[in-house]
Structure 1
Amino acid sequence: MQLIPQSPDVRPYLAADEVIDHGHPLVRETADALWTATGDAYSYAKAAFEFVRDTIPHSGDSGDLRVSWRASDVLRTRNGICYAKSHALAALLRAKGIPAGLCYQRLADDDGSNPAVHGLIALRLPGTAEWARLDPRGNKPGVDAQFALDTEQLAFPVRPELGEVDYPELHAVPHPAALAALKESADRPELWRNLPTAL
């Protein structure tokens, strides 16, 4: 899929803000530990992806009722939905100078009902001109997202016949609708009701 960056300049995809707070000590500490174990951008990106995918449960799978949205809080609580986990992975990548943006899909149940927007990331490794999408949602039976740069292996392949959509825009900051759902929800059941159905 060809992604459309909001800016041809990569600097927005390296920036810190209140959500992708890669200057936070916990983000820096986690990034430094992963970098020490790897030592190059490709290996680090793979390790960061697997760390977020595998050690931070998706709250829909774990049953955790807490709602996290800031990257440092996701790392602290080891909890989050797809948007939050994407914020954490983007922060870890940006902390080591790897441009990372946020991407979205519109997904639905197998009969096309209950549409909801799903969040993932894209990164651009040094020496490459293309962005590669990765989905740190977390694997489970029927979901097998992998660190694959040449051929995408995301959590959910889009099914256009059900009204599902791969949104091509690459965002430097969270989409306002996704962020509002996180910030305005006291717990996960409320978050489920607040999830945007389209962008």
Structure 2
Amino acid sequence: MQLKQMNNNVKDYLRDSEILNYSDEDIQKKALELSQHSENQFETVNTVYEFVRDEVPHSLDIGGQILTFRASEVLRKCQGICFAKSNLLAAMLRFLGVPTGFCYQTLTHEGGYVLHGLNAVLLDGDWYRLDARGNREDVDAQFSMDGEKLAFPVSHTGEVDYPGIYSEPVESVVKSFNDAENVDEVMEKLSEARI
């Protein structure tokens, strides 16, 4: 699939924001700690990615109901669903100077469909998608520049892989989180969310 950068200015993919809030000291400290031994941008991206993927549990995998969304909140409470984890990953990578955007898929889920969020990073002039959702027995997502290894490759009728790379989380996702009080509620709202 040909990915499409939705904002012409690559600096838009490095910006701080209310949601990504990488001006937060804890985000900066963790990002610097994770990247201190990296010899290049690929190693930096991979190390930060593996931290978010492996050390910040997906709420559904641990039965968590705490709703997190802002990057600093995800780091402090150490859990979140895919969108929350993608916000934390984007915040840390942007702080470290790696242009990072947001990508989406519509996937089958519990007899219907649900929106799924992941990231894309700009390395050596090309965008690469990576999914920090978190691995489990049936999920083996990896960061690769030699072919995508996403958590959920689109493979069922009705599923959609959207090519857009957005500089901020899309409005339907932000609204779903703003209108929910726990993980179950946001998952229900995300089943109706569209790009």
TM-score (norm 1): 0.94
Query: Which of 167, 171, 174 is the matching residue for 1:179?
Result: 174
Is 2:193 the partner of 1:195? no
Query: How far apart, CA to CA, are the structure 2 residues paired with 1:63 and 1:191?
Result: 14
Aligned residues: 194
Aligned-partner SS, 2:73: helix
Tell me the CA shift for residue 39 of structure 1.
4.0
Gaps of 5+ in 1: none
2:130 counterpart of 1:134: yes
Q: Tell me what 2:89 maps to.
A: 89
Decide whether the 8 Å contact of 1:178 with 1:196 is kept in 2. no
Q: Does the residue aligned with 2:26 lie in a helix, a strand or coil? A: helix
What is the CA-CA distance between 1:115 and the residue it aligns to?
Answer: 0.3
TM-score (norm 2): 0.95
Deviations 1:50-109 (A, max 9, x none): 000000000010111101000011011001000000000001110110000000000014
> What is the Cα deviation at residue 8 of structure 1?
2.5
Q: What secondary structure does 2:126 align onto?
A: coil
- The yes-or-no answer on 1:166 pairing with 2:161 is yes
RMSD over aligned CA atoms reads: 1.3
In the alignment, residue 183 of structure 1 is paired with which amino acid?
A: N
Partner of 1:64: 64
Tell me what 2:76 maps to. 76
Aligned-pair CA distance for 1:196 = 4.2
- Which 4+ stretches in 1 moved above 3 angstroms? none
Query: 1:10-34 deviations in whole A, cap 9, x for unaligned?
Result: 1000000011111111110011101
Q: 2: distance between equivalents of 1:144 and 1:53? A: 10
> Any unmatched runs of 5+ in structure 2?
none
Question: Deviation per CA, 1:112-148, whole angstroms, max 9, x where unpaired?
Answer: x3101000000012xx121000000000011000011
